[in-house]
């Protein structure tokens, strides 16, 4: 398995905007990427600040344990979805087997 390496620091872009949209006018937002580049209505964002922040990452995080927990949750969801799909197919099979064919008598 691949080793999981946690960086000691990470530097990320930060964008602070104020909304010009009618539904949230004057709200201030913090973005991890420039909303003018992905928004359907970039004109609704007024850029207040573009900068970078450097964050220190704690090194005592149980990443493997959290990854395993996440994977177990995904597995449970996949099993439940597959069980539901299998049940739907089995129900159709059972319905077909329950049909009595009454042919014309000669």
Residue-wise pLDDT for 62-82, tens only, equals: 888 999 999 999 999 999 999
* Confidence class for position 105, pLDDT limits 50, 70, 90: low
Query: pTM of the predicted model, to two decimals?
Result: 0.53
- Listed residue (13, 10, 12) closest to 34, CA to CA: 13
Backbone angles phi, psi at 57, to 5 degrees: -95, 125
pLDDT in tens, 20-64: 888 889 899 999 988 878 777 778 888 999 999 999 999 888 888
Provide the 10 A C-beta neighbour count for residue 29. Answer: 13
Q: What is the pLDDT of residue 21?
A: 83
């Amino acid at each position: 398995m691949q080793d999981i390496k946690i960086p000691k620091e990470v530097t990320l872009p930060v964008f602070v905007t104020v909304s010009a949209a009618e539904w949230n006018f004057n709200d201030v937002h913090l973005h991890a990427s420039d909303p003018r580049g992905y928004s359907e209505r970039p004109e609704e964002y007024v850029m207040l600040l573009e900068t970078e922040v450097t964050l220190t990452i704690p090194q005592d995080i149980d990443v493997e344990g959290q990854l395993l927990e996440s994977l177990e949750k995904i597995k449970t969801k996949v099993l439940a979805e597959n069980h539901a799909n299998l049940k739907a197919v089995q129900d159709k099979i059972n319905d077909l087997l329950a049909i009595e064919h009454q042919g014309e008598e000669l």
